[in-house]
Every structure is written in C-alpha cells, then in structure tokens.
Amino acid sequence: MSKEPNPRQPSLRGRLGARVPEHFEQADVGRAAGGDHEAFERLYRGHVGRVYSLALRMAGPGEADDLTQEVFIRAWSKLDTFKGQSRFGTWLHRLAVNHILSRRAATSRRESRLLGGESFLDRVKARRERASGVAIDLDRAIGALPARAREVFVLYDVEGFSHEEVAEALGVTVGTSKSQLHRARMLLRERLS
C-alpha cells in the first residue's frame, strides 16, 4: 500500500496518529512489546473506536466485535515487528484493513456458497425501505451495499485512501475501484434520498 497520503481529507492514519501524544504512545508500544498488558490496554483504549468503526462499516455489526478483537490480538502478536517507522496508529490501521479484508474474502466465499451472495434479509430490508420511502442513515445504507462496493466506498470515502491504495488492498484494478465507488455512491444516493 502506498505511503502517500490522500489529499482529499485527513486520512484515517493521520487522524489516528493525532489522538495521543506520540511520546506517550511510543512508550506504551515499547512496554507492550515487552509484555506489558496494561500498556497494551491503553493502546487498545486509544484506538478501539477507529478499528471498530472500520470493522463495522466493512463487515457489518454481526462481525465487527470479533474482527476488532482479532485485530488487537493479531497486533499483540506482531508488536515485535513494529519498528516505529510510522505511527502506531498507522501500523495498526494497515494491519486492521488487511485482516478485515482477508476475513471478509473468506466469509464472502462462504456466504456465496450458502446464500448465493446477498443475504436474504438484506434484500428484504432494502426492498421495504425503498418501498417505504423512508430515509435511512448513512451507516445503515452502507451496510446494505454489495460487498465490493461497500469495501471501496469505506476505504475511499470514509477512510481516505486513494484509488491506488484501494486497488492494492483489494487486489483489483484502479478502474474497478473507481467504478465500484461510483456504483456505491449512486446506490447510497438513491437510498438516502
């Protein structure tokens, strides 16, 4: 994934890095790498909101808790590989995106086998909501997007990645990233209007 920030808005990585004074966080990272659970808990408390939000929007409420826990468990196991070349939040976010996407890929394959892709209730809900004409909130509308469009939308419009970064993370072309983003925006426009 490119290290170039997306100029459209402060990236998540920038926002993550700004929340805790760097020297405090660096000290906690060092302590946690040495096995200090309390230091790791402080890191968790400082970053759980952003990781959970990412998981929630990428995978939905049914998976967000588990994914968030897995990301932090994975981060604990890999702390010794964190070299301090970037902010801890940047590193954690990259790890979170990779983990969530890899889990989503496995889940999507399973869902596809079981349900032929889109969930039954999602279809019913979307149909009802369109029929009712009731505006729904953005998070719910994001959750009802097709998986690929949702992933691109969250990474690009919410998290501030560039199309090149999204394409690399998802293993698709930049053109696919752009077309899925447009598809997501158009669907959201319809559902929110």
Give the residues lining the site for another protein (CB under 8 A).
8-9, 31, 33-37, 40-41, 44-45, 48-50, 52-53, 56-57, 59-60, 62-66, 68-70, 72-74, 76-80, 103, 106-107, 110-111, 114-115, 118-122, 124, 128, 138-139, 153, 157-158, 178, 181-182, 185-186, 188-189, 192-193
Taking the complex as a whole, how short is the minimal distance between the CB of residue 171 and another protein, in angstroms? 20
Residues 66, 72, 76, 78: is their CA dihedral positive or negative?
positive
Taking the complex as a whole, how short is the minimal distance between the CB of residue 109 and another protein, in angstroms? 9
Closer Cβ to another protein, 3 or 123, answer by number: 123
Taking the complex as a whole, how short is the minimal distance between the CB of residue 154 and another protein, in angstroms? 8
Write the burial class of residue 158 (CB in 10 Å: 0-12 exposed, 13-18 middle, 19+ buried).
middle
Our CA angle for 133, 138, 142, nearest 5°, is: 100
Closer Cβ to another protein, 120 or 171, answer by number: 120
User: What Rg, from alpha-carbon coordinates, does the chain have?
Assistant: 18
Q: What is the DSSP letter of 79?
A: G
In contact, 147 and 108? CB cutoff 8 Å? yes
Closest to 175 in 3D by CA, of 160, 186, 164, 189 = 164
Q: What is the DSSP letter of 80?
A: G
Q: How far, CA to CA in Å, does 19 sit from each of 16, 46, 49? A: 6, 8, 11
Closer Cβ to another protein, 62 or 84, answer by number: 62
Closer Cβ to another protein, 114 or 134, answer by number: 114
Closer Cβ to another protein, 94 or 178, answer by number: 178
Amino acid of residue 63: E
Taking the complex as a whole, how short is the minimal distance between the CB of residue 1 and another protein, in angstroms? 19
Taking the complex as a whole, how short is the minimal distance between the CB of residue 22 and another protein, in angstroms? 20
Closer Cβ to another protein, 42 or 87, answer by number: 42
Taking the complex as a whole, how short is the minimal distance between the CB of residue 121 and another protein, in angstroms? 2
